[in-house]
């Protein structure tokens, strides 16, 4: 077991790959919610009125004909809390979408990050009950926050260093998993959770500032990262995907996504001492996923 300092998250982590020998079983696949659900096409009246949608030309708000649909969360945790329904398809995850649909999802994220009036925004996807998902129809949540959350605040400090820490990760051959155009998929060198993956687009501070034409490669890279994790750990792999983007007024940042496989539960040391124990070698993670 070796303590290592995460230069991005600015925390100490215990890297203990030998603990992986204990074996971790993937949870069984979640039973899909009955269809149609409230997120399905034709059930628009069961949600709050949409705040944004990408639609078939000529269709009206809160009616069928949408490709991606955004609505306020019925049970908001923050003052700005929205749900992004990734598609009308009740069963398919975004990693299985064709290119145009994946890009549409990222466009919806960008537009709602732009619309948020609060200083900080975090975009998250919870896949699987073990990762906190309450519904199986694929969706994301967007949280606007009055303050910069601690993890993002630490990353802000990391990006004040002369060299971008994320760009340095992408240049490390031992961490590289895949690339889509200029968006890199890499193993986090000091992960918070075993087999954590980073998706790193070309250097830009904020998702909100990205041009529409540039989002396709990043959308495909997110799909590629999830697909490779599923090939190694099973299609029912529960995971959290979290997008970090620059808070208001912060210019030195590099927006990116973390993908956290949820195969191990945190114990008392992780929760009580903020000292993650990671039972994986990041370089081995990169080797396994790059060959999958």
Tens-of-pLDDT digits for all 292 residues of the chain?
A: 789 999 999 999 999 988 766 666 677 889 999 999 999 999 999 999 999 999 999 999 999 999 999 999 999 999 999 999 999 999 999 999 999 999 999 999 999 999 999 999 999 999 999 999 999 999 999 999 999 999 999 999 999 999 999 999 999 999 999 999 999 999 999 999 999 999 999 999 999 999 998 999 999 999 999 999 999 999 999 999 999 999 999 999 999 999 999 998 889 999 999 899 999 999 999 999 999 8
Residues 237, 256: Cα–Cα separation, whole Å: 21
Beta bridge partners of 179: 184
Instruction: Say which CATH number the domain at 155 has.
Output: 3.30.428.10
CA-based nearest residue to 228, from 182, 286, 272, 278? 286
Give the whole-angstrom CA distance, residue 150 versus residue 154: 6
Task: Please choose, from the candidates 158, 88, 81, 163, the residue with its C-alpha nearest in 3D space to the C-alpha of residue 122.
Answer: 81
Give the strand pairing for 52-55 and 66-72.
Answer: antiparallel
- Domain span including residue 223: 2-290
Model pLDDT, residue 25: 67
Burial of 183 (0-12, 13-18, 19+ CB in 10 A): buried
CB 272 within 8 A of CB 182: no
The two three-digit tokens of residue 166, written as one number? 């994320």
- Locate 112 and state its tokens: 């709602």
Tokens of 203: 């250097």
Cα–Cα dist 102/260, whole Å: 20
Q: How confident is the model at residue 265, as a pLDDT?
A: 85
What pLDDT was estimated at residue 252?
97
Please state the domain count of the chain.
1
Alpha-carbon distance of 196 to 207, in angstroms, equals 21
pTM of the model: 0.96
Q: What is the pLDDT of residue 204?
A: 97
Structure tokens of 116?
A: 């948020």
Q: How far is CA 283 from the centre of its chain?
A: 21
């Amino acid at each position: 077991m070796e303590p290592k300092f995460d230069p991005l998250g600015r925390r100490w982590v215990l890297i203990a790959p030998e603990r992986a020998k204990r074996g971790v079983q993937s949870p069984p696949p979640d039973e899909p919610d009955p269809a149609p659900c409230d997120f399905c096409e034709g059930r628009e009246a069961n949600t709050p009125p949409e705040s944004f949608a990408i639609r078939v030309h000529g269709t009206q708000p809160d009616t069928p004909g949408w490709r991606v649909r955004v609505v306020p969360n019925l049970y908001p945790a923050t003052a700005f809390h929205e749900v992004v329904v990734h598609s009308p398809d009740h069963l398919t995850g975004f990693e299985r979408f064709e290119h145009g649909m994946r890009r549409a999802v990222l466009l919806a994220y960008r537009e709602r990050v732009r619309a948020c009036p609060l200083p900080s925004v975090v975009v998250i996807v919870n896949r699987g009950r073990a990762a906190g998902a309450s519904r199986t129809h694929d969706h994301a949540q967007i949280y606007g926050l009055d303050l910069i959350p601690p993890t993002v605040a630490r990353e802000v400090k990391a990006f004040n260093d002369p060299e971008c820490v994320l760009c340095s990760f992408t240049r490390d051959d031992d961490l590289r998993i895949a690339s889509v155009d200029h968006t890199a998929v890499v193993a986090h060198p000091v992960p918070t959770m075993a087999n954590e993956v980073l998706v790193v687009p070309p250097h830009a501070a904020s998702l909100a500032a990205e041009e529409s034409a540039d989002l396709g490669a990043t959308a495909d890279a997110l799909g590629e990262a999830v697909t490779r994790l599923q090939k190694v750990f099973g299609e029912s792999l529960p995971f959290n995907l979290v997008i970090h983007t620059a808070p208001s007024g912060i210019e030195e940042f590099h927006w990116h996504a973390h993908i956290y496989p949820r195969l191990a539960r945190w114990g008392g040391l992780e929760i009580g001492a903020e000292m993650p124990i990671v039972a994986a070698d990041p370089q081995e993670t990169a080797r396994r996923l790059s060959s999958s």
